[in-house]
Amino acid sequence: MAKHLALITGASQGIGKDLAECAAKNGADVILVARSKEKLLDLAKDLTQKYKVSAHVIPSDLSHVDAAEALYAATQRAGLKPDIVINNAGFGALGPFHQDDLQRLDEMIRLNCLTLMKITRLYSPRMVEEKWGRILNVASTAAFQPCPNFAVYGATKAFVLSLSEAVNAELSGSGVKVCTLCPGPTETGFHSVAGTSEVSLMKLGLMKSEAVARIGYAGMMRGKSVIVPGFLNLISSILSQILPRSWIIMTSKFLMTRT
């Protein structure tokens, strides 16, 4: 099989950066996408030197309504045809819903849902034609239950999980797998952006971003539908699906409250 080409969004730091490293370590050429051009250029240089792969940089604000179409057009123009697409860029914002900033919520839904859906839609047809492809959509353990104080973020991740599982089922037998990575709390810049550094959930501990990325990348290459890294996260995701909804929502509210 020809060399893989992996497109990774949100590759400038955190889980996305580590996923890009996993891809390059496994011999794939990479397309790195995020807003921070300098960070992407540094990473591209590093991956090229360490793993002898090609690394392309496409700076983009993926919260713009037509960002996915622009990204797709840029890769088409450059003759870049990824057979691995990782939709990782995303952010959250802690707060009671009735006080949330409407513009920020709009941006969150466009980045976490709209752009992810469009990227999945735009890049999957060629994968189906080629009879092989992998799409890894990054959701969260927040996808498994409503998240009071993190309501819109939780809802965006439930969207990601639902969309990805449905499309994965549609594509069964095609050679293309749409996988969902559901990390729990992970040590990245996410929490300073989201304002979640001091919620009770953090007391249960954070996983290292490298471990989340390694497990996610390996699960995606195996074609696993839903990947929940870490034992505690796996147990909590199972409990969320079998315990009474009212208990789960109460627990979730407690965990997402500042200590």
Ligand X SMILES: NC(=O)c1ccc[n+]([C@@H]2O[C@H](COP(=O)([O-])OP(=O)(O)OC[C@H]3O[C@@H](n4cnc5c(N)ncnc54)[C@H](OP(=O)(O)O)[C@@H]3O)[C@@H](O)[C@H]2O)c1
Catalytic (active-site) positions: 153
Rounded Cα distance, 137 and 170, in Å: 16
- Per CB under 6 A, the list member of 95, 154, 183, 216 interacting with ligand X is 183
Please report which residue ranges of the chain form alpha helices under DSSP H.
14-25, 37-51, 67-77, 102-109, 116-130, 151-170, 190-194, 209-222, 231-242, 245-255
Rg (CA), the chain: 18
Q: Confirm or reject binding of residue 190 to ligand X (CB under 6 A).
A: yes
**With CB under 6 A as the contact rule, which of the stretches 69-77, 188-196, 217-225, 231-239 interacts with ligand X?**
188-196
Q: Which residues pair with 173 in a beta bridge?
A: none
Q: Which stretch binds ligand X (CB under 6 A): 6-14, 41-49, 122-130, 239-247?
A: 6-14
Binding to ligand X, residues 61-120 (CB under 6 A): 61-63, 88-92, 111
Q: Is-contact 186 208, C-beta < 8 A?
A: yes
Q: Which of 5, 12, 84, 220 binds ligand X (CB under 6 A)?
A: 12
In the complex with ligand X, the residue whose CB is nearer, 63 or 149, is 63
Binding range to ligand X, per CB under 6 A, among 48-56, 178-186, 219-227, 248-256? 178-186
Q: Is 14 in the site for ligand X (CB under 6 A)?
A: yes
Is residue 8 near ligand X by the rule CB under 6 A?
A: no
Q: Is 137 in the site for ligand X (CB under 6 A)?
A: no
Residue 164 interacts with ligand X (CB under 6 A): yes or no: no
Minimum distance of ligand X from residue 171's CB (angstroms): 22
Q: Which two tokens stand for residue 93?
A: 């914002």
Which two three-digit tokens encode residue 92? 């959250």
Helix (H) or strand (E) holding 38: helix 37-51
47 near ligand X, judged by CB under 6 A: no
By CB under 6 A, which span of 11-19, 217-225, 227-235, 238-246 interacts with ligand X? Answer: 11-19
**Beta-bridge mates of residue 32:** 8, 57
CA distance 251 to 119: 34
Among 120, 168, 186, 240, binds ligand X (CB under 6 A): 186
**Gap between the Cα atoms of 201 and 90, Å rounded:** 19
Nearer to ligand X, 174 or 225 (CB): 225
Would you say 159 or 190 has its CB closer to ligand X? 190
The sign one gets for the Cα dihedral 183, 200, 13, 212 is negative
Which member of 25, 26, 35, 171 binds ligand X (CB under 6 A)?
Answer: 35
What Å distances lie between residue 191 and 21, 92, 100, 149, 154, CA to CA?
22, 8, 17, 14, 14
Q: How far is the CB of 58 from ligand X (least distance, A)?
A: 10
d(CA 89, CA 211): 18
- Number of C-beta neighbours around residue 35 at 10 A: 14
Judged by the rule CB under 6 A, the positions of this chain that interact with ligand X are 10-16, 34-36, 60-63, 88-92, 111, 138, 140, 183, 185-186, 188-190, 193
